[in-house]
Structure 1
Amino acid sequence: MKSPSRITTLFVDIGGVLLSDGWNHESRMEAAATFDLDAQELENRHHQAFDTYESGRLSLEAYLEQVVFHQRRAFTPDQFMRFMFGRSRPIPGMIELIRGLKARYALKVVAVSNEGRELNAHRIRTFKLDGFVDAFISSCFVHLRKPDPEIFRLALDIAQVPAPHVLYLENTPMFITIAEGLGIQSLRHADYDSTCRNLASVGLNPDETLP
């Protein structure tokens, strides 16, 4: 691994690192139970449409028309959207951790995430992510999705930082492998405590006292 003193920029995933996943399998199964939907049909339709939604080529309304409202329902799209938005939760300690590292080490912070536009906007606004993230390389904005290496190349171009000066926090091993193949140092996030230890090992100590 490169010298930790060279790290000037953090790339961070949103779902799984800062926040819970925006619309994962567990949330869909909970939606099926809450709204009395056929869980298998919901899952099948989701997988047929969600990549297009996350790539910014389908609105949330159009996604729901294909996945849920292809037949008459006893509830409205607005009710279902509110349920979807309500699944997002902050991962304990992680937002505060990244805020603190940014301030302590004068880091640039760039979010690199696969998220649909409406969910992304809700999560940025609700959890005030724009208060410490300098740029959002969201799949819905750039029409690229991880694991496509181009989304990381684009993030490097927009951040205007060489790959060896970046540390990437991610919870998905495949995406870490892609980033490391481009020369981006990466740490797999599993939980707050282990991430703090791993960050300290590369010179970004959350508990370091400022001079």
Structure 2
Amino acid sequence: MQHTTPITTLFLDIGGVLLTNGWDRASRKVAATKFSLDLAELEERHHLTFDTYEEGKLTLDEYLDRIVFYEDRPFSREEFKEFMYSRTEPYQDMIDMICQIKSKYGIKIAVVNNEGRELNEYRIRTFGLNKYVDFFISSCFVHFRKPDADIWRIALDIALVKPEEVVYVDDRALFVTVAEGLGINGIRHTDYATTRDKLAQWGFPL
């Protein structure tokens, strides 16, 4: 791959890249079965309010008030939260690769992701992402969420880099396309081996 501007920074998504998606459709389906909830009602309420939670305008308790605890339940709020937290698993091969790239090449690492505050902070701290990520441009912190282009503009400003200095890794094609529209170099993540090879082409062989 030919490029004239050195890459100084990686922008990374979390869910689907470094960790599993924490509170996705599959997790809500399991929750509906485990807690005897009406899945269709849960999904409708989730979709009507989750964007607001991800933008940092609701707390997790307020979000749960709207989707689960709008009526009495035979289980506690803490039980439900623990279930939500338990749904995250690491993609350890991806984590190890990013740590190796940072150690070997000394580049900046920034997360650009959509996540509600409590889930975001749990996932970051539990899986040690803050040990190697320099900046977290999370929707709950900056009050913009992908695919709003402003979240990437904020990330560029915080990292103090030009778009052409950045490679952005995300598993969602739309988000990669929007970032590329700003001049950021994009990698659509599908699996560890493919992303490793693409990062090597951008100058980061391991």
TM-score range, shorter chain: over 0.9
Which deviations, in whole Å up to 9, do the C-alpha atoms of 1:91-121 show, x marking residues without a partner? 1401111111111111100000000000001
Q: Percent identity?
A: 52
Quote the residue 2:27 is aligned against. 27
Quote the residue 2:166 is aligned against. 166
Which aligned pairs between 1:146-185 and structure 2 lie closer than 5 A?
146-185=146-185
1:72 aligns with 2:72: yes
1:73 partner letter? R
2:70 partner letter? H
Quote the residue 1:57 is aligned against. 57
Alignment TM-score, normalising by the size of structure 2 = 0.98
Contact 2:114 2:139 in 1 (8 A): yes
How far apart in 2 are the matches of 1:39 and 1:76?
Answer: 18
2:9 partner letter? T
3-state secondary structure, aligned to 1:101 = helix
Contact 2:5 2:164 in 1 (8 A): no
How far apart in 2 are the matches of 1:200 and 1:98?
Answer: 12
Of residues 91-100 and 26-35 in structure 1, the stretch that sits farther from structure 2 once superposed is: 91-100
How far apart in 2 are the matches of 1:180 and 1:134?
Answer: 22
How far apart in 1 are the matches of 2:59 and 2:158?
Answer: 25
Structure 1 residues not aligned, in runs of 5+: none
Alignment TM-score, normalising by the size of structure 1 = 0.95
1:37 aligns with 2:37: yes
Q: After TM superposition, what 4+ stretches of structure 1 lie above 6 angstroms from structure 2?
A: none
Of residues 86-95 and 152-161 in structure 1, the stretch that sits farther from structure 2 once superposed is: 86-95
Which aligned pairs between 1:1-211 and structure 2 lie closer than 5 A?
3=3, 6-205=6-205, 207=206
Contact 1:11 1:167 in 2 (8 A): yes
How far apart in 2 are the matches of 1:178 and 1:188?
Answer: 12
How far apart in 1 are the matches of 2:113 and 2:174?
Answer: 14
1:126 partner letter? T
> Cα RMSD over matched residues?
1.1
3-state secondary structure, aligned to 2:187 = strand
